[in-house]
Structures are given as structure tokens and as C-alpha cells.
A and B are shown apart, each in its own frame.
Chain A
Amino acid sequence: MTETTLDWMALANRKPKGKRPSYFADPQNEELYSILLSLVGEVSVMRQRLDTVERLLEAKGSISRADIEAYVPAGDAAAERSDMIREYILRVMRGPMQAIQAMTESAPPIDTVVDELINS
């Protein structure tokens, strides 16, 4: 821990100068989405830590917190971890990714299909 008198935890959050664009119709959604994306990021951080613990335990049997902190993925581990994060992002972003496909699909509402099948 450093001896700095700065409250770095709070200062890290400082807002950049300039009016923030709004993206959603409801302003509260801006903040809710920022919380949601940060949470998505934190789950990824936890998964990496767990992956680190698993890899170190497998290699060494018994580990310390210092071992975990010092871990640097290399070679296959780095590539596998890259895949792990990519796969994780794709999974949590299922909704928007499916929205892309929906834009190019000219599918009728399910009610239409239900009616169609009754009579065919």
C-alpha cells in the first residue's frame, strides 16, 4: 500500500470534462447500463483469477497469494485465456448479437406461424 494521501479510489472515478452524449431514451438507463457493463467486466476479472488459481494449483499443488499475484500467462495459457474472454463476451452479449441477425431475417410473428400450421 502506498503512503499517498490521495483518495485514489474516489479520484479514479473522475468525470472527464465535456457533456456526455446520451444514448438511451431514459437517462437512468445510462447509469444502469454503466453499472451492468462494469459488472460484466468484474465477472471476467474473477474468472481470470480463478483460472490463475486453477493453473497454479495444477502445476504446483499448493500455492500462496503471492504466487497468484505474480502469475503471468504465457504460451498456450495466454491463448486459452484469450479464447476464454472472447467466448465470455460473446455469451453475455447474446442479446445484441441476436439483434443483428434479427435485422436481416424477415420472419413473421409467431402468431402467424401458429395460424399457418393449424391449416396446413
Chain B
Amino acid sequence: MSKSSGVHVPPYRAVTKHDMFPSATLDEAARFDFITHMNKFLASSLGAGNKIAYEARVLPAFRKEHGRDPKDRFEIRHAMNRDPFHQLWSASKRNTMEMRQQNGRAIALRQLDELDARANALNAGKATLQLDPTVEVPRYQSAVDIHCMPGCYHGEERPGDVSAGANYDSGLFATTAGALGGLSDGGGQAVVQWLRANYPNWKPRRVLDIGCTIGHNVVPLALAYPEAEFIAIDTAAASLRYGHARAQALGAMNITFIQHNGEDLSRWGDGCFDWVQTTMFLHELSGKALPQIIREGFRVLAPHGLMLHVEQPQYTLDMPLYEQFIRDWDAFNNNEPFWSAMHGMDLKQQMVSAGFAPEELFVAAVKAVADRTIFPEAATDETEDHGRAAAWHAYGAWKGGEPK
């Protein structure tokens, strides 16, 4: 074999197995390997061409036509969408996502009987899974299938199944090119690492995770704080059924999964949680739901409690418009309709409006924690997969100041 040419992508079969994880045949694993590599290729080698096309011809043409530079990311998008190179790149990226969904669904659906049986065995009679059929799927979760994931988080192929969660879990590795680690929990692991480094003596007693989907980011938190009681809520029963079984399989017995909408937390009293967490959730809401959830989160947070929202970086005034445009791709091409508006929001202002004092706010940079012997470190340079990189900003606040 000739000399290696770069950072290796771990094989799909390096993904950590748990009792709920759908098994992949040799060819299905090979399909995910190809998709994983394609995502890396599209983010780095081919992705570099977008900026070159912008600077070499799209921007000069825009200036010629308008006599000025683009004034926002949307003008750049409209101009770039007419560029043949960007068209091919976008089509490739969209197709790669569609191929990921097809492979994940083929894997999950062909073994659905067995997956449902395993979930039933792990879920039956457990007080830690509380489903409520009266909870409605909000418009921001039903308007389009987020991530081009047929059925979104709540879809079912037959009543009571775990197909949505199983498909989602099976392909996270490929979508993120393995950067989230074997359990795709790099986001949660990153939060644990940040807390241990900065607040080693902090011991939360009750924790609320809002918008947990399959719980992949709350499990590492629950395992790191085994004495704490975790409540993980989501409106999607299909994801919760899978997520609860998955958490049980991974030994996180201190999480109660509840089907519930975070916009109304009235079943919990004021100040009854020490920690309110969301991970890659705020961008899947709406203009009204986001402030409402932060308001409710503030209300149920105890004095000196922590609110933490892990997201891709917000578009700040000093972020170049081109970077805002490329970070916006998923909004318009991967069914993330609130992504653009949310990233353009002033999250700090939202948190102040909810009740926090400005001096209580902070932003921390957190990076995926994964086993570096098999997983490459997340790229944070120009070759990162904008919008999907395994490096985030944690927008946080301590209510009434840090714990004593």
C-alpha cells in the first residue's frame, strides 16, 4: 500500500454497539462508509470550490450587476444558486443525505420486528418511560421532515414502532463523518468535559433535558452524574420509545423519558431543576416556541442553577457574510427551516428577556469528545463541515450567579 494521504475516517463497523443498535450487513456498512467519506469529501476537497467560485466569478458578477457587495447571506445564496459549480456541490450534498436516509431506513425497517421486540423488552412496565398520546406534534416538527428524514422524529411505519429512532441512530455516524464518536454522543461528552474542568464540585440533583430525541446527548450526562435525577422530554413518542430503550441498554437508569412539549412546563414547579439543558435543539423550533421554552426553562430553574444550550455558532456581526451563507446550507437544502433565523438571533438577548441578568450569561466553546484512537479530531478550520462540525458554542447562564 502506498503512503497514506490524510486523516482516516473510522469504518462504520467501529460504531459502538448497544442492545438497541440496528445491525448492519457488510454491504449496508459499506454504504455508510461511502456516505461518511462523501460527507468529508464534500466538506473539504470539493467544498473548497464554493469559496473559489464565489470570489472568482459570483461576487464579481454581483458587483457588476448591482454596483455593490451583497448585503446579507440571502443575497449570496441567491447568487450562488445560479453558479454551476455550487449547483453540482449542493446536488451532491442533498443526494448524499437522501442516500443516508435510504440506507438507514432499509437497515431499520428490514429488522423492525426484532428492534420492536427488543425495545418492548427494555421498555415494558418501566416508570422511566411516560408516553402521552394527547401531546401534539408541533408545527415546527411537522411542517417538513427535518434532515430529510422521512417521518421526522415522530413518524411510525406501524403503531408503536421504533423505526424513526432506529434510523436516526444508525446514520448519525455517517452524517457527521464519525466526528461524534462511536455512540454519536460527542456533544453530551463535550458538556461533561467542560463541566468537570470548570465546575468539578458542582453536583446537580435534578436535570431537565428539553428536546432529547433519542437521548444520545443526555445519556453521557446521566452517566457522568449518576446520583442526579434526569428528566428528558420530547414531543415525539417514536423517538422516546427508542431513546428510553437505548438509555437502558447503555446503563443510564437515572433518566425518565417523558412525552411532553417544552413550551409548557407547568407540570413542574418554579425552581425545581438545577440544570436545564438543550443540545442541538433550539434550531428546530420556531420564532415563538424558542423564547417560550427559554422562559419556561428559566422559571423551573433553581437559584444558582445552570441553563445551557449547545448549538452551532450564532451568526454574529463579525462573521463574514460568506461564512453565514455556507453555514445556512442545511436550512434550505436539508429541511432545517428554522436554522437560518435561529442562528441570526441574539440568543443572549433571548436569555435576558427570559429573566437572566446580562452578567450571568456566558458562551463556552465545546468540542466533541471521542476516542481519538479511532476517531479523528473534529476539524474546526476551513475544512470543517459548516453546520455539522463536531464543535459547538454552549450558550449558558447561571441563574442568580454561579453556584457557591
Interface 0/1 of A83-103, CB less than 8 Å to B: 101110110010011011001
Q: Is the CB of B110 within 8 A of A44?
A: no
Size category of the B interface is: 35 or more
Within 8 A of A (CB), among B273-299: none
A54-96 CB mask vs B (1 if < 8 Å, else 0) is: 0000000000000011011100101111110111011001001
Q: Whole-angstrom distance between the alpha carbons of A28 and B38 in the complex?
A: 23
A27 contacts partner chain B, Cβ-Cβ < 8 Å: no
Distance in Å: Cβ of B178 to nearest Cβ of chain A: 10
A83/B109 in contact, CB under 8 A:
no
* Interface-side segment among B97-105, B350-358, B383-391: B97-105
Assembled-state Cα–Cα distance A18/B141 (Å): 12
The range of chain A's interface size is: 35 or more
Tell me the minimal C-beta distance from A97 to chain B in angstroms.
7
B52 CB-CB contact with A under 8 Å: yes
A71-B26 contact in complex given A16-B149, A37-B99, C-beta closer than 8 Å: yes
Contact present for B13 and A34 (CB under 8 Å): no
B residues adjacent to A (C-beta < 8 A): 1, 4-6, 8-11, 13-14, 25-27, 30-31, 33-35, 37-38, 40-41, 45-46, 48-49, 52-53, 56-57, 85, 87-92, 94-96, 98-99, 101-103, 105-106, 109-114, 142-145, 148-152, 157-158, 332-333, 335, 374
Asked if A73 and B5 sit within 8 Å, CB to CB, the answer is no
Which A residues have a C-beta under 8 Å from some C-beta of B? Answer: 2-4, 6, 8-9, 11-18, 20-21, 23-24, 30, 33-34, 37-38, 41, 44-45, 48-49, 52, 68-69, 71-73, 76, 78-83, 85-87, 89-90, 93, 96-97, 99-100, 103-104
* Residues of B close to A48: CB separation below 8 A: 26-27, 30, 33
Q: Which of B30, B57, B109 contacts A6 (CB 8 A)?
A: B109
Interface of A is mostly: helix
- From the candidates A15, A41, A79, A99, name the one contacting B34 in the complex (CB within 8 A): A41
Q: Which of B14, B53, B92 meets A78, CB within 8 Å?
A: B14
Residues on the A chain within 8 Å of B26, using CB: 48-49, 52, 68-69, 71
- Listed from nearest, the 6 A-B pairs whose CB atoms lie closest are A18-B144, A8-B109, A100-B49, A16-B145, A23-B91, A12-B106
Residue of chain A at shortest CB distance from B27? A45
* Residues of the B chain whose Cβ atoms lie less than 8 Å from the Cβ of A86: 5-6, 9, 37, 40-41
- Whether B148 pairs with A93 at a CB distance below 8 angstroms is no
Most chain A beta-carbon neighbours within 10 Å: one of B37, B38, B96, B114: B37
- Please give me the residue from chain B that is nearest to A29 by CB atom: B91
What residue of chain B has the Cβ atom nearest to residue A85's Cβ? Answer: B37
User: Is B144 within 8 A of A17, CB to CB?
Assistant: yes
Known: A96-B85, A103-B56. A14 touches B151 (CB 8 A): yes
Q: How far is the CA of A17 from the CA of B152 in the complex (A)?
A: 8
Structural contact, A9 and B13, CB atoms closer than 8 A: no
Contact of A3 among B96, B113, B149, B335 (CB under 8 A): B113
Docked Cα-Cα span, A3 to B92, in Å, equals 35
Across the interface, name the chain A residue whose C-beta is closest to B145.
A16
Give the CA-CA distance A27 to B276 in the complex, in Å: 46
